Amino acid sequence: MQKDEVLKIRHVLESEIKSGDISLHPTEIATYLKYLYNNDKFEFYETLKKLPEDVLGEVLLELPENIKDDAIEHLSAQKLAKAIEELDSDDAVDLVKDIEDVDEELEQEVLDNLDKEYKEEIEELSSYDEAHAGAYMQTEVFKAYEDETIKDALERLRQLKSQGELSNVHQVYVVDSDEKLKAIIPLDDLILYDFDTKLADIIKDKKYEPIAVRVDEPISDLIKKFEDYDLSVVAVVDDQGRLLGRITSDDVIDLVEDQATEQIYNLAGVEDEVEEEGDIKEVTKKRAWWLLINLGTAILASFVIGLFDETIQKYVALAVLMPIVASMGGNAGTQTLTVVVRKLALGEIDWQNAKKALFQETFISLANGLIFAVIMGAIAWIWFDDKMLGVVIALAMIINLLAAGFFGAIIPLFLKKIGQDPAVGSSVLLTTVTDVVGFFAFLGLAKLMLVH
């Protein structure tokens, strides 16, 4: 069955390639290639080399990282260069960076095979910091000058489209003689005017005032601007307001996904880049580092338990119940931590306006503490036929959930305040707090109220 599937996929791809007019989307081709890679690598390499350059670049960008790296190693610098020249500039930069990660010498050879002007453009775009908007822009934009008529601008657009110089054009970026961005006009608005009208007469309308980001603007601000203005594309300008390019929604979606992935990994104490590279040795080493920290915090919690060993020996029921107190605190703290970290990432809260969020999360945890104190207190009373034991665990539950809510909010806020990623290390610190406070409160109260 597996062999039949491989033959079927090979037939589909070969038919597409031979036709000279590939109708499959790059994502579909990448899906087929991924199957071949996992089941018949020889067929994968052979099919990959036959793909025409006008789709090869997009297909490579759709492949998982490990397969993409292997594919790059099996392609010539000349074929990779031709594939890159078929891509939009932002995608071309991404692929060049992928090649650099695989083999820096190959990257240089690929760049040497590019058209000189295109090479310079890619090198300039590659120079932008990945934390800034400029690293994600494409330079292929249609700009028209304010002293042009609509007719002249559209004729130029028609020529550029027919030559394959532009794609996905939905807006006209109007600039002055100094290339400063003056307005952005949707094409469906532009065609409503008399074609002999000059653009300068149209852009007086305030509804065409441009929304743009600076080339050095942080990506967090870029993402927020897309969300606030419900954009599908945004112009990129320099400090003087000169038009440099545009950033499209597909890149912003990728950025949002990357940020979300990074936060999830960081909350779990693992690094996203290391995990995605798939190097078992490196992954093991990085995870072991966080597990070592966790071991230290677990020893600290055990030390607290050790302080009350005589109490536990005299009242064995405490050993049965104390994991419940720590577990409830840990879960309540994780809820608070996740909410606060996410709000920090979205820019909804910061250190200056954190008072409301801190109060809200602490109050919610306290309210839950009271609810589950009553429930667990009653269970402990019935279970061990001891009213005071129920009171002890109820009080400990309230104290630990209150601490969980407060520290679950304050820890990420504090880390953000001192310039650290609030997702990194927060869970380890919070677990330490809930374990130590939970055990100390439960066993300490037991010593005072139960053991005579």
Q: What is the CATH number of the domain that holds 65?
A: 1.25.60.10
For 128-171, how does the pLDDT look when each residue is reduced to its tens digit (9 = 90+)? 998 899 999 999 999 999 999 999 999 999 998 888 888 888 89
The domain in which residue 238 lies consists of: 143-248
- The rounded percent of the chain whose pLDDT value lies above 90 is 53
- In a domain? residue 99: yes
- In a domain? residue 255: no
Q: What is the pLDDT of residue 437?
A: 94
Q: What is the pLDDT of residue 266?
A: 65
- In a domain? residue 134: no
pTM over 0.85: no
Q: What is the pLDDT of residue 451?
A: 76
Q: Are residues 241 and 186 in the same domain?
A: yes
Q: Are residues 219 and 323 in the same domain?
A: no
Q: What is the pLDDT of residue 261?
A: 72
Distance CA 27, CA 61 (A): 9
Residue 198: CB atoms within 10 A of its CB come to 16
Q: What is the pLDDT of residue 400?
A: 95
Q: Are residues 290 and 434 in the same domain?
A: yes
Phi, psi of 309 (to 5 degrees): -60, -35
What's the chain's Rg over C-alpha atoms?
30
Query: What's the Cα-to-Cα distance from 250 to each of 26, 233, 272, 309, rounded to whole Å?
Result: 15, 9, 21, 59
Q: Are residues 182 and 302 in the same domain?
A: no
User: What is the sign, positive or negative, of the torsion defined by CA atoms of 19, 22, 24, 28?
Assistant: positive
Q: Are residues 96 and 153 in the same domain?
A: no
Amino acid found at 313 = Q
Structure tokens at 323: 């994991």
Residue where a domain terminates, one of 100, 127, 154: 127
- In a domain? residue 135: no
Q: Are residues 289 and 437 in the same domain?
A: yes
DSSP 376-404: HHHHHHHHHT-HHHHHHHHHHHHHHHHHH
Structure tokens at 369: 């503490």
Amino acid found at 346 = L
Half-sphere exposure of 97 (CA within 13 A, CB side): 19
- The ranges of the chain with pLDDT < 50 are 1, 274-275
DSSP 8-state code for residue 196: T
- In a domain? residue 374: yes
Q: Are residues 244 and 276 in the same domain?
A: no
Q: Are residues 153 and 123 in the same domain?
A: no
List beta partners, residue 71.
none
- In a domain? residue 260: no
How many domains does the chain contain in total? 3
- In a domain? residue 152: yes
344 dihedral zone (left: phi>0; alpha: psi -120 to 50; beta): alpha
Q: Are residues 87 and 207 in the same domain?
A: no
